[in-house]
A and B are shown apart, each in its own frame.
Chain A
Amino acid sequence: MNPISRRKLIYGSVAAAASVGGLAVAQRLATHYGLIPPDSGELYGAGATLTYACQRLLTARTPAREFPRSMISKNPFANEVAPPTDEFKRLRAGGFRDWRLFVDGTVAQPMSLSIADLSSLPVHSQITEVACEEGWSYIAEWIGTPLSEVLREAGVLPQSRYVVYYAIEKGLWESIDMADAMHPDTILTLGMNDGDLPVPFGGPLRLRVPRQLGYKSLKYLTHITVTDDIKKFGSGKGSVDPDYGYSWYAGI
């Protein structure tokens, strides 16, 4: 063996050892700072984890892109989901007076809120874009109360890591981490463009998460569970999305 290749071999081994050690340290740190998404064990977990970790580090507190009123879309596309259930029809007939939002899990005070209760909380409005994973988008004004207001009132316990949220339709649920849940732009939306939130757009209640793609902005919201253990929900990957091949995190 000539000296050059021996030197190369030594450098190579040192680099390989450093990479393995570096990866182990990185994984420890990432877990500690909450940079590993619930679906990191999936087929494309490596890329999903890198994206989530980088974006979480960069964007924990950054505000969603907002637009001037003149840019609000004249003909927004509702992309209506599956026909509402019988229960939805009954609630709609009653003017949504009996619609309830349940808040439970790792909170000091579980709650049940009506649309009127939510309307009495501090209102936040934002002009943001809905961007669908399919490629289309539109801009609207969204009016409602920040999720953080409700969570503060319920008293989130310190061990909480995720907020799981459910639609009225069985089996349709999502979750976000605490950084997104406490973000001022994450709002329990009751109004759109100066009116009540229309049913095709998720009325009477939709959670808007404007810094992620449309599928995280769940329509027909009925139930919020704060948790310290996301693995207990569904197949343990954070939402129904990984069950359909989609990634839990939708910041890109």
Chain B
Amino acid sequence: MTHWVTFIAFVALLISGGEIVIPHPRFYWGEVGNVNTRPLFVVPIPASRDTVPTRYGYVLTDENGWGRNLHFEAAWVVVFAGLVYGIFGLWSGHFRENLVPRRRDWTWRAYWDRLAQYRGRKRTDGTEANTYNVLQRTAYLGVIFVLFPLIIWTGLAMSPSFTSVFPLTAALLGGRQSARTIHFFVSWLLLLFLIVHVTMVARSGFWSRTRAMITGHMRDSKEGD
């Protein structure tokens, strides 16, 4: 349930986040940055403001109103879904049992073996269907406990009102513009995760997996996939 709500909200965040870059596709490090300061890098796209120098001879229309509105609306949805998921995960032991790598897998060797298995395109044995392996567990933990908190933190660090209460949220990151830059990169990491995640699900049989997500259990392979 929270998975699909988060998925829809995440797509909305990606689209609106992409839009929010368009008015000013320049990124900086530190507290301040504008067209009179040197950028860290420039995204090679046209801008929606004629005050921003780009290599294009035209200016896109201003779509930042709905872009920002949709972004914050969807961010609230993700925060609520995340709270429900987090409370459920702690209460049911889902994190401990299914996501924290098993103790015997706390070695480089375990990661290496699993990587080799993916590279060899070996089909998995039957036990794979019902549990996550060490690579999956690490990836999920990273997304849930590192990337999502980081993208919320860097997002809030750009709020002039929020930072009036918690100035350190911006200062610890090196400033407002650093927060914006980190926010940009973390969103790419999350998109990368989404692509790998969907690819992996597709390789293991998209419809049976999706059906399992909705019904809550995996059918035996003899019933047919």
Contact = CB atoms under 8 A, between A and B. Distances in A.
Interface string A241-252: 100111100011
Interface in B34-73: 34-37, 49, 51, 62, 64-66, 68-70, 72-73
A46 B32 contact: no
Contacts of B158: 131, 252
- Place the interface of chain A in its size category: 35 or more
B24 A135 contact: yes
- Place the interface of chain B in its size category: 35 or more
A13 interface: no
Contacts of A65: 160, 163-164, 167, 170
Main secondary structure of the interface of A (DSSP, over half): loop
B162 interface: yes
A139 B37 contact: no
A174 interface: no
Main secondary structure of the interface of B (DSSP, over half): helix
Contacts of A63: 164
B31 interface: yes
A150 B21 CA distance: 39
B162 A77 contact: no
Contact of B65 (A212, A246, A252): A246
B64 A134 contact: yes
Interface in B56-113: 62, 64-66, 68-70, 72-76
Given A47-B69, A62-B165, 13 more contacts: A59-B161, A131-B176, A132-B24, A134-B24, A135-B24, A138-B32, A138-B36, A210-B160, A212-B161, A244-B62, A247-B69, A247-B72, A252-B158
